[in-house]
Structure 1
Amino acid sequence: MAVPDRAVLPAEESGEADPAARLFAKWGLVVRAGTIVDLRVAPGWEDDARIGWGAPAAPAASVRVRACAPNVGQRQWLAFVGGTWVARATCVPLMVRSSGRQDRVNLGIGLACGGTTAP
């Protein structure tokens, strides 16, 4: 699985009624074919951030992505369109679980995780 490695993901007004989803940063989630990935906003962030992929992506505190097994000659990695919604520009911690491993990923949504603004 791959997530963005940019210091800051640009965020724009989402038009969502949910205060926790006021801003949206679009980014693609790339998952190896045949893999299941569970993503969730870190504990304590459920009131301030949402995630979602698909068409249409529904903002949620947790998401399970199932990347279908590839057919012969098909790509080994699949991309899913979606992103992160936040109440305000911030550094969002996400918990990612796949293949028995769990990691924490920090995403700068409209603000770098070090607290600085976008260059």
Structure 2
Amino acid sequence: MSATRTPRASVLPEPGAGSRTRPIACWGLLCLVVVLSACTSAGDSRRHTTGPADGAARSTDASGGGPPCTTSVDALAAPPAGYRLVGTDVAVPDAPVLSAEDAGEADPAARLFAKWGLVVRAGTVVVLRVAPGWQDRARLGWGGTGAPATTATVHACAGEGGQAQWLAFVGGTWVARAACVPLIVTSNGQDDRVTLGIGVPCDKTPTP
């Protein structure tokens, strides 16, 4: 769709080989790029106005049941290259370091921001939170205009026809200073722990 920059969208289809189909394919490619760019701009979590307490922007669940859907920016057949699984339902970047920039936030725990895309198995609800002892040093959030928070709930609604296996969400991690940040991922009643190097690699920074 355990940031930096949003993960690349799934591989775009190549234009048709025939000369008669090439103009149509090019127009389709251009439209898709424009749509994804607009989603990424709207999903920059650093420029939020208001948002739910858990840090995830919501849209309506088309099925009418369960929690509302979190806004995604891409549908994928599988987690993209450069991602690793956390448990069975979540994938996070495998990069040793996620670059962090000044976030412009008043919260001292959100001074720096690393933008990265969270990838969640379609049809699941996951809860991510900063590990105990890090509540005053880190924040997280995905799905659009959600405010930085210590806990974020992401509902990856299944697409129509169940074609999409994974969904990608724009967001990332805020920190008081560059550090190896531990996160707890909860899905299907199971807790999994993952560490992310925000501004520094984890092998250079001990994690409590």
Structure 1 letter corresponding to 2:179: T
The question of 1:33 aligning with 2:122 is answered yes
Aligned residue-pair number: 116
Instruction: State TM-score, norm by structure 1.
Output: 0.93
Identical positions, percent: 71
Give the secondary structure class of the aligned counterpart of 1:114: helix
**1:9 aligned partner:** 98
**Stretches of structure 1 lacking an aligned partner (at least 5 in a row):** none
Separation (CA, whole Å) in 2 of partners of 1:52 and 1:73: 26
Post-superposition offset of 1:103? 0.7
Give the secondary structure class of the aligned counterpart of 2:109: helix
Structure 2 letter corresponding to 1:29: L
Contact 2:142 2:171 (8 Å CA) reproduced: yes
Q: Structure 1: which 4+ aligned runs deviate by more than 3 Å?
A: none
Contact 2:127 2:154 (8 Å CA) reproduced: yes
Post-superposition offset of 1:17? 0.6
Contact 2:158 2:164 (8 Å CA) reproduced: no
1:60 to 117, 142, 149: 149
2:169 to 66, 72, 80: 80
Instruction: State TM-score, norm by structure 2.
Output: 0.54
5 Å-filtered alignment, 1:92-103, equals: 92-103=181-192
Q: Name which one, 1 or 2, has greater alpha-carbon Rg.
A: 2
**2:178 aligned partner:** 89
Q: Which has the higher strand share?
A: 1
Q: Which has the higher helix share?
A: 2
Separation (CA, whole Å) in 2 of partners of 1:27 and 1:86: 14
